[in-house]
Amino acid sequence: MAHAGACIVDSVRRVWPSLYPHLAFVIENDWHVLINSPMFQDAEWHLHTIVTFCALGYAHARHAHVRLDLFRPGFKPRTKLWIEWLGGVVLFMPFMAIFCFYAYMYFDLAWLSNERAGDTNGINHRWFIKFFIFLGPLSLLMAGAASLIRLTVRLFGPEHLHSQTGTDHITAENHSAYS
């Protein structure tokens, strides 16, 4: 992929000045050095991290996360709710709480030490990206807590509130965000 990118940059560098003389200033002013800099490469990775981690809580709240339901189709609706609730209480919430704790420690250490990239390349303030490594799982933890509250109301709450919990998709035959 990097080789293809280098070929494209080289082609643009050779062809565009002759086809579009008004764009020749990019090459003449050595902007290609800036475009190919480690700073932009770091920014690309940072942007991917931000988008991925910010999507975690959203995907869980919208039930668009990956699920492996091997045994679910054969269970009764109430059993499916219990499995979802127990999985959230026993596995999901403790794991995410521990993950958030260590992600915060990771961010905090970078913040306190004002962690930076090397002197000559990369983006300064590495704590910024590490904040999203904490924020994304935190949003996922909050989305999981909201799901558990809805499941708790559905399992233990009054009958007239069951339809308002938004958990009907769990008891459906095809548990998919896209169906």
Phi, psi of 76 (to 5 degrees): -75, 160
* Mean pLDDT of the residues in the chain: 79
Name the region of 15 (left: φ>0; alpha: ψ -120 to 50; beta: rest).
Answer: alpha
Q: Report the chain's C-alpha Rg in angstroms.
A: 24
Domain ranges of the chain: 1-36, 37-171
Q: What is the tens place of the pLDDT at every residue in 45-74?
A: 888 888 988 898 898 888 877 766 777 778
Pairwise CA distance, residues 172 & 45, whole Å = 38
Pairwise CA distance, residues 13 & 177, whole Å = 45
Q: What is the tens place of the pLDDT at every residue in 159-170?
A: 898 888 888 877
**Can you give the pTM of this predicted structure?**
0.72
Per-residue confidence at 28, pLDDT binned at 50, 70, 90? low
Q: What is the tens place of the pLDDT at every residue in 125-148?
A: 888 888 999 999 999 999 999 999
